[in-house]
């Protein structure tokens, strides 16, 4: 029987060293793409996919994320008094409802698998979505929603996948693919950050997952993988052959906001989609050609 996916984990404990000094006092997830913080794109995508409970795995210095999804009475008051109703609506719509959100801390930087494991008690014995906020996906149907549609048909475990250049496999979890039907690819193996010569394909896992709770049993073993870290990929690999496991070749364009260039690319792409900015943006971009 397929159980509904109600909860999502957002691992946001990372230090964001690539964005120093910007991230010295500001969580990298709060850097804006146009006028919305990176984390809000992931939260909105989860909401659009029907997620009802939002679990953030945070760390020291990340309290701005909690404030962002909470009431700001002074701000709302002031906007109201000044009749800035559109801004007020923007601020209110970014809030998460009482009891819908939980924060827990990853006390040691032991890897993505460890961050996910930190949320185990908040998830309990049910399937869960995981969204890595660094990956922003621009698409007609939000990426997690595309995956939910496949989940409704097949259940089991799903990861978002896309093709990457061979020489880039060392940056990703890579899928050993089996049978492919439309956009659904059977996953026969998973390797974290293989060198191009060792990579079983050029199909990379992008930061969207729907996983069964059995993954927590494997994460609990604390086995170290690539880079000496506890890898989510390794725990997921243990589910293959035991439970259905598929990759979803999602429709859409992915931006890697974990890198400076990817982050700037995302800002340009999202600004060009804004009717109030597009003409001016095009003028500006022409100057750089
Ligand atoms: C993480 C995962 C990796 C995945 C990637 C997607 O790596 O470990 O499997 O392909 O996210 O963005 P990271 O980017 O944290 O090194």
Does a structural domain hold residue 184?
no
Residues 100 and 108 sit within 8 Å (Cβ to Cβ): no
Measured on CA atoms in the order 177, 148, 211, 253, is the torsion positive or negative?
positive
Q: How far is the CA of 283 from the centre of ligand 1 (A)?
A: 35
Structure tokens at 64: 């701005």
Ligand 1 pocket member 173 (CB < 6 A): yes
Does some domain include residue 267?
no
In total, how many domains does the chain have?
1
Which pTM does this prediction carry?
0.96
What domain range includes position 108?
A: 7-159+206-255
Asked whether residue 263 is domain-assigned, the answer is: no
User: Is residue 269 one of the residues assigned to a domain?
Assistant: no
Digits of tens for pLDDT over the chain (289 positions)?
A: 689 999 999 999 988 889 999 999 999 999 999 999 999 999 999 999 999 999 999 998 899 999 999 888 888 889 889 989 888 888 888 888 889 999 999 988 899 999 999 999 999 999 999 999 999 999 999 999 999 999 999 899 999 999 999 999 999 999 999 999 989 999 999 999 999 999 999 999 999 999 999 999 999 998 899 999 999 999 999 999 999 999 999 999 999 999 999 999 999 999 999 999 999 999 999 999 8
Q: Is residue 266 part of a domain?
A: no
Asked whether 204 lines ligand 1 (CB < 6 A), one says: yes
* Contact in structure between 13 and 58 (CB atoms under 8 Å): yes
In a domain, 262, yes or no: no
Mutate to test the pocket of ligand 1, among 19, 29, 114, 207 (most ligand atoms within 8 A of CB): 207
Residue 251, Ramachandran bin (φ over 0: left; ψ between -120 and 50: alpha; else beta)? beta
- CATH code at 115? 3.90.550.10
Distance (angstroms) between ligand 1 centre and the Cα of 150 equals 22
For residue 33, the Cα-to-chain-centroid distance in whole angstroms is 15
| 42 lies in some domain | yes
Residue 201 lies in a domain: no
Angstrom distance (rounded) from CA 160 to CA 143 = 8
């Amino acid at each position: 029987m397929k159980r509904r996916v109600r909860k999502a984990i957002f691992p946001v404990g990372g230090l964001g060293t690539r964005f120093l000094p910007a991230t010295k006092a500001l969580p990298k997830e709060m850097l804006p793409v146009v006028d919305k913080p990176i984390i809000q794109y992931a939260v909105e995508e989860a909401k659009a996919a029907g997620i009802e409970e939002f679990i953030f795995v945070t760390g020291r210095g990340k309290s701005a994320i909690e404030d962002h999804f909470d009431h700001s009475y002074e701000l709302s008051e002031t906007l109201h008094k000044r009749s800035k109703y559109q801004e007020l609506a923007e601020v209110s719509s970014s809030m998460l409802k009482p009891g819908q959100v939980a924060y827990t801390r990853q006390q040691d930087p032991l890897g993505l698998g460890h961050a996910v494991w930190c949320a185990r008690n908040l998830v309990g014995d049910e399937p869960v979505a995981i969204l890595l906020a660094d990956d922003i996906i621009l698409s007609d149907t939000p990426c997690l929603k595309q995956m939910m549609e496949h989940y409704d048909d097949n259940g089991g475990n799903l990861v978002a996948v896309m093709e990457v250049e061979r020489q880039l496999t060392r940056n990703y979890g890579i899928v050993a693919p089996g049978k492919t039907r439309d956009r659904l690819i059977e996953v026969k193996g998973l390797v974290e950050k293989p060198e191009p010569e060792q990579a079983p394909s050029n199909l990379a896992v992008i930061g969207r997952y729907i996983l069964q709770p059995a993954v927590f049993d494997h994460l609990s073993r604390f086995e170290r993988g690539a880079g000496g870290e506890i890898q989510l990929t390794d725990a997921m690999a243990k589910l293959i052959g035991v439970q259905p496991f598929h990759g979803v070749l999602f429709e859409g364009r992915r931006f890697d906001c974990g890198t400076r260039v990817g982050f700037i690319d995302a800002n340009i792409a999202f600004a060009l989609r804004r009717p109030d900015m597009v003409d001016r943006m095009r003028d500006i971009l022409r100057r750089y050609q």
